[in-house]
A and B are shown apart, each in its own frame.
Chain A
Amino acid sequence: MSLRQIVVEWLDDNYHFGEAASLIRDDEMSFLKNGILDSLGFVQLVLFLEKRLGIKIDRKQLSPKNFDGMGKILAFVAAVPGYTGPR
């Protein structure tokens, strides 16, 4: 399962129940501005990704700059030291 699928599945399980993939029009789309995820959801997503992918995300990086959109999440997680791909 790709990282994209993991994120979409989490969004479906927690917020959009089967509609996440259709709601995310493109990788640049802001999750915050388009109601895909709220700020509390960011925290929950970060905690989930840490557990699911076995990575550590520094509190300094918990910012919309890194998580507000599919493209940003994919690029950010790929650059996390120690990340070796979905498990």
Chain B
Amino acid sequence: MIFSGVEFAYFLPVALALYWLVPRRAGAQNAVLLVLGYLFYFTWSPRLVPLFALATLVDYAAARFIAAQREAGGREGATPTEQARRDRLARLGLGVSLAYNLGQLCLFKYLGFFAESLAAMLATVGVHASLPVLHLALPLGISFYTFQKIAYVVDVYDGKIPACRSPLTFATFVAFFPQLIAGPIVRGDDTLPQLAAPRRPDAEQWRAGAGLFLLGFVKKAYVADFLARYVVDPVFADPAQFSARAHWLALAGYGVQVFCDFSGYSEMAIGTGRLFGVELPKNFDYPLLAKSLPELWRRWHITLNTWLFEYVFGPLTTGTSWLRGRLDAGFLVVFLASGLWHGARATFVVWGLVHGLGLVVHHRWDEAWRRLCRKDRAWVARRRSAPYVALSWALTQAFFLLSLVPFRSASLGDAARFARGLLAPHAGPALPAASAAPFGALQVALCFALFAAYHLLEIGRGARLRDAFFALHPVVRGAVYGAVVALLLLLVPVSAGTFIYAQF
């Protein structure tokens, strides 16, 4: 069941009715959410439900154990020896949780990849090893909920948040279905207090939630799915059949597709969360407006990048770490981790390394400019000039787009073939299968226009226009929303595809 599918159109109203009909107590509301979460998960991976439940239990117990050790160690009269013992036990609790979470992630997601990579490496030096490879079904959303639980246990260990006492609240926090399979990656300090308190109906929150859901639906079910089907997939499946122009169009189409797919999913998740009275964190912030790579990563998949920054980059480059102060090495490690997070495939490793190196180059460039700016303030003005800003924007966006070649390709060989197709002019259709769709070329143009308009409505005159729309009479806005829904019913196929990020 996915947000843009028919099943969800039946599931959501029933779920909302059940949720808002139970007594407005946190316990009752969480019990409904928990059942809905497990039901939602069951529709994806019925056999892995016990594993999901066990993973929840392990982290609940680990956090409670850590909190108990902290409390005992901090008690008045506790001797230094006792405090040290309690600290060791708290560290043990953290270690068990990390080992379980990372071990599970490695077992399901990476073991096969590492075994195959090792065998391939050995083969290059003439050793043909047959390593045992387990072909296990990847539990849905494992990368998302594992990171969510790791952050929770680390935060409890660091004393940033208290351990959640209620197993029901904690289980609901892990299994909250709007963000269960593809984020946003929520944090304990933000979401647990919301789930610990009763939620009350709020018409304004529902309005905002429904609007956001509709926006996400348009992005996912119309723009992303249309581009995938008619522009992107045919060219990536068989690049040799298409011209260089079709390659560029497919690559640009994929950039729009992956953004609309994932940000659309996130908006539907946040919108659904609001319908249940729970506010989820923002995951995208108009990445097309980014004028540098660091800015792009502050605007794209915000909850993952914040997580990587707080739990990997920060600890790695500060304190007593051996990489202290080595920001370049920190970038490489973080983006290698980000690449592997997306999947156990060499293409994702390359994608991560490309972005890590991109950040290193940007960082060095930035340092050099700063040195110039310190010497002569004229360089500050040059840095802020329109040509510099425009060039920065163009380079950032072009870099990101080109990095999607390995990201989208199934293998490095496929990526190389596609990259060659971008450069080598050869015969073949200039526009992929889009002509097969009704008003094909027009719809392709409309998808790109919607993507551009979405970003332009955030800046300058566009933002004023957007604000003017939201200031219109509710009946007028309602009519516009109705027209959008009617258009969607005409244009969007009933059975929509899956989400790109759900597979991670």
Interface, chain A (partner B; CB < 8 A): 13-14, 17-18, 38-40, 43-44, 46-47, 56-60, 62-63
Contact = CB atoms under 8 A, between A and B. Distances in A.
24 contacts: A13-B370, A13-B374, A17-B374, A18-B380, A38-B294, A38-B298, A39-B306, A40-B327, A43-B327, A46-B318, A47-B318, A47-B324, A47-B325, A56-B319, A57-B318, A57-B319, A59-B319, A59-B321, A60-B158, A62-B310, A62-B315, A62-B318, A62-B319, A63-B160
B160 A60 contact: yes
Best-buried of B309, B319, B325, B370 by chain A (most CB within 10 Å)? B319
Interface string B79-93: 000000000000000
Say whether chain A's binding surface is mostly helix, strand, loop, or mixed: helix
B344 interface: no
B428 interface: no
B318 A43 contact: yes
Nearest to A32: B298
B315 A59 contact: yes
Contacts of B295: 38
Contacts of A59: 314-315, 318-319, 321
Interface residues of B, number: 24
A13 B298 CA distance: 23
Interface string B294-318: 1100100000001001100111011
Contacts, number: 47
Interface in B258-311: 294-295, 298, 306, 309-310
Given A14-B370, A17-B377, A60-B160, A43 B313 contact: yes
A39 B327 CA distance: 12
A39 B298 contact: yes
Contacts of B377: 17-18
B287 to A, nearest CB: 15
Nearest to A51: B325
Interface string B169-180: 000000000000
Contacts of A62: 310, 314-315, 318-319
A59 B295 CA distance: 23
B373 interface: yes
A13 to B, nearest CB: 6
A7 B404 CA distance: 39
B46 interface: no
B278 to A, nearest CB: 22
A17 B160 contact: no
Contacts of B319: 56-59, 62
Contacts of B309: 39
